[in-house]
């Protein structure tokens, strides 16, 4: 039997998560495509094959190849198979952004968001025990370059390293440095339901995560002690709980809670979300939640309310219309600042291992101060997943 | 103006077939328009963010085309681009919006079309103002009776962005 079909069959007992949008293809869980429980990081063998055979366009590349061939060639060295105990991977993400896009004062910038190398070592053929780690290069952001070298963030960082144990068919245990499990985890780490909540690109934490799922329910409990490479004063120590229920017909609903504190700040988060694939390649996602912060210096709690919506509409294999809308109400009072961001763009997978995003974003603010003109931003991203 | 609207609606309804559906809709609108503000002379630009409910009536001309009218009552706030005598640029706002839509079904679950709106907006303690809007709409059939519509366009034919979201339940 062919390589990728073998993998597909061997993993078919798992719940599946890919990009959360891909619920419209029937993939409801991140673990089918990723080694992590909540998505992100390296793709596993099934994820590689799925990337090539389900979502990558065939307009320019691989026109004459069968799906089986494309799946076979999705490995790190193409069709050359590697030992089952060795799974390297590489991920690159670059962003070009033009702020005030239609103004004479427009500024352009290129940002290298991610250049991570991964090494995953399944310790047995059934992948009951797995070790995984990453190392990545991240240039010091321009705004921090004026700081003394000792205060600048490290340029070489590891965003994850963990040990995974599959304790039973439905139960997984993770130990190590990981993303916190909370809400809908999608690719835009600057969104209101990611970066704003302290769940951004560099907000991983050391801890232990227990993940259980069956055909209907998913539960995850995550205890964490902060990122031990950070100053102890800012490490957030606490836990999160995540659950999701399969309503059937590619529709899930879920809830998440998170509570943590450091020496300077207490944080509480609550979210409700739904993901709905209403036709193949067509999905809507919505998350609403509350963000409560209490600086220990003031003892004053501020609670904000956020909404995140995303629609993904495939019009042809590999090419999708991407729409987003998000709002954040910072205090939920009559004097709140309410930020809204509306976006429309394209999410494309034109070549194997390649993702391209191009978006036009409108930012609008409502407050008790005189309104300023909307801010328009044009941006394009390229992601390479090798 | 009233006569023209009446004439338009008469022609509109005559053109339609008898197959029709009622809708209840929940809506979210955000647009910019010039409004009258107490304490300020003339009209001032405001960014309005309003939500509310409404009802709609749609006719199925054939498998591809649908025509409909809807009415909404919306409340929310307006953020003025200038500071009025009330010393806050945020004002309570309400609006009554009527719309006519023409929708073309592309696939079983996806349709697109155009929406024209006529609205009457009021800020707290000011006189009412009227506006016209035009939107491009993308409509998803989430199931046989629930539709989600995303719209983008402009109000008052200005260059500023207007967008709207609508969740509809058919009866």
pLDDT attached to residue B117: 94
Residues A354 and A383: beta-carbon distance below 8 Å: yes
Confidence of residue B157 (pLDDT cuts 50, 70, 90): low
Closest CA to A160 of A134, A199, A187: A134
Calpha distance A227→A203 (Å, rounded): 8
Looking at the complex, report in whole angstroms how far the Cα of residue A104 sits from the nearest Cα belonging to chain B: 16
Does A3 have pLDDT greater than 80?
A: no
**Residue in B30, B106, B161 to test binding to A, most A beta-carbons within 10 Å:** B30
Chain segment B76-112, per-residue pLDDT in tens: 999 988 876 667 888 889 999 999 999 999 988 899 9
Angle at A42 between CA A39 and CA A45, to 5 degrees: 100
Give the single-character DSSP code of A53: I
Calpha distance A154→B148 (Å, rounded): 45
Among A69-73, A174-178, A293-297, B5-9, the least confident range: B5-9
Mean pLDDT of A301-327: 93
What ipTM is given for this predicted complex? 0.85
Mean pLDDT of B123-138: 87
Structure tokens at A129: 């025990």
Cβ contacts of A368 on chain B, cutoff 8 Å: 88-90
Interface contact B140-A369, CB threshold 8 A: no
Query: Which element (helix H / strand E) includes A163?
Result: strand A161-166
Interface of A with B (CB under 8 A): 276, 278-279, 282, 284, 309, 311, 313, 323, 325, 334, 338, 340, 342, 344, 362, 364-374
Looking at the complex, report in whole angstroms how far the Cα of residue A251 sits from the nearest Cα belonging to chain B: 10
Does A229 have pLDDT greater than 80?
A: yes
Residue of A nearest to B106 (CA): A315
B146 touches chain A (CB under 8 A): no
pLDDT attached to residue B43: 82
Interface contact A370-B80, CB threshold 8 A: yes
* Nearest-by-Cβ selection for A366 from B49, B82, B152: B49
Mean pLDDT (chain A, rounded): 88
Query: For chain A, where are the alpha helices, taking DSSP H only?
Result: 3-10, 45-50, 67-72
Among A238-242, A285-289, B20-24, B100-104, the least confident range: B20-24
Mean pLDDT of B116-126: 86
Looking at the complex, report in whole angstroms how far the Cα of residue B12 sits from the nearest Cα belonging to chain A: 32
B17 touches chain A (CB under 8 A): no
* Nearest-by-Cβ selection for A367 from B79, B107, B138: B79
Structure tokens at A198: 């302290």
Among A123-127, B1-5, B60-64, B144-148, the least confident range: B1-5
Mean pLDDT of A257-276: 96
Cβ contacts of A279 on chain B, cutoff 8 Å: 107-110
Chain centroid, CA A264 distance in Å: 27
Looking at the complex, report in whole angstroms how far the Cα of residue B152 sits from the nearest Cα belonging to chain A: 10
Question: Burial, A101: exposed, middle or buried (Cβ in 10 Å; 0-12, 13-18, 19+)?
Answer: middle
Chain segment A276-291, per-residue pLDDT in tens: 998 888 999 999 999 9
Summary count for chain A: helices (H), strands (E): 3, 17
């Amino acid at each position: 039997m062919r390589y990728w079909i073998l993998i597909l069959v061997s993993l078919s007992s798992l719940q599946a998560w890919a990009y959360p949008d891909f619920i419209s293809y029937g993939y409801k869980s991140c673990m089918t495509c990723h080694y992590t429980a909540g998505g992100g990081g390296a793709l596993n063998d099934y994820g590689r094959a799925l990337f090539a055979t389900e979502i990558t366009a065939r307009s320019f590349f691989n026109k004459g190849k069968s799906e089986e061939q494309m799946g076979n060639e999705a490995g790190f060295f193409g069709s050359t198979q590697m030992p089952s105990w060795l799974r390297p991977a590489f991920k690159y993400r670059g962003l070009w952004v033009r702020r005030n896009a239609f103004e004479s004062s427009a500024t352009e910038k290129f940002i290298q968001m991610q250049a991570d190398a991964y090494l995953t070592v399944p310790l047995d053929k059934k992948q009951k025990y797995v070790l995984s780690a990453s190392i990545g290069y991240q240039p010091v952001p321009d705004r921090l370059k004026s700081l003394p070298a000792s205060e600048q963030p490290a340029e070489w960082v590891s965003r994850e390293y963990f040990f995974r144990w599959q304790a039973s068919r439905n139960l997984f245990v993770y130990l190590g440095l990981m993303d916190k499990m909370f809400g809908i985890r999608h690719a835009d780490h600057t969104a209101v339901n990611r970066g704003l909540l302290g769940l951004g690109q560099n907000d991983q934490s050391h801890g232990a995560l227990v993940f259980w799922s069956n055909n209907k329910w998913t539960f995850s409990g995550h205890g964490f002690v902060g990122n031990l490479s950070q100053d102890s004063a800012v490490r957030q120590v606490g836990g999160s709980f995540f659950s999701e229920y399969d309503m059937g017909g590619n529709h899930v609903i879920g809830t998440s809670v998170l509570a943590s504190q450091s020496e300077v700040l207490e944080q509480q988060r609550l979210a409700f979300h739904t993901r709905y694939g209403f036709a193949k390649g067509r999905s809507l996602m919505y998350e609403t939640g509350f963000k409560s912060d209490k600086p220990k210096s003031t003892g004053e709690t501020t609670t904000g309310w956020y909404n995140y919506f995303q629609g993904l509409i495939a019009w042809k294999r590999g090419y999708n219309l991407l729409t987003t809308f998000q709002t954040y109400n910072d205090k939920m009072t009559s004097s709140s600042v309410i930020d809204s961001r509306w976006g429309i763009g394209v999410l494309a997978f034109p070549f194997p291992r390649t993702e391209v995003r191009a978006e036009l974003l409108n930012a609008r603010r409502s407050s008790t101060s005189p309104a300023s003109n909307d801010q328009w931003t044009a941006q394009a991203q390229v992601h390479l997943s090798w | 103006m009233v006569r023209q609207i009446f004439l338009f609606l008469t022609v509109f309804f005559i053109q339609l077939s008898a197959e029709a559906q009622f809708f209840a809709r929940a809506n979210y609108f955000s647009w910019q328009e010039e409004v009258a503000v107490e304490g300020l002379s003339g009209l001032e630009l405001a960014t309005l963010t309003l939500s509310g409910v409404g009802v709609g009536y749609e006719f199925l001309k054939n498998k591809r085309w649908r025509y409909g009218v809807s009415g909404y009552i919306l409340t929310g706030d307006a953020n003025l681009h200038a500071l009025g005598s009330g010393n806050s640029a945020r004002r309570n706002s309400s609006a009554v919006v009527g719309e006519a839509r023409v929708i073309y079904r592309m696939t079983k679950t996806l349709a697109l079309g155009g929406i024209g709106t006529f609205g009457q907006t009021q800020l707290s303690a000011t006189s009412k103002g009227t506006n016209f809007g035009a939107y491009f709409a993308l409509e998803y059939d989430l199931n046989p009776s629930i539709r989600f519509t995303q719209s983008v366009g402009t109000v008052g034919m200005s260059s500023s962005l207007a967008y709207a979201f609508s969740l509809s339940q058919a009866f």
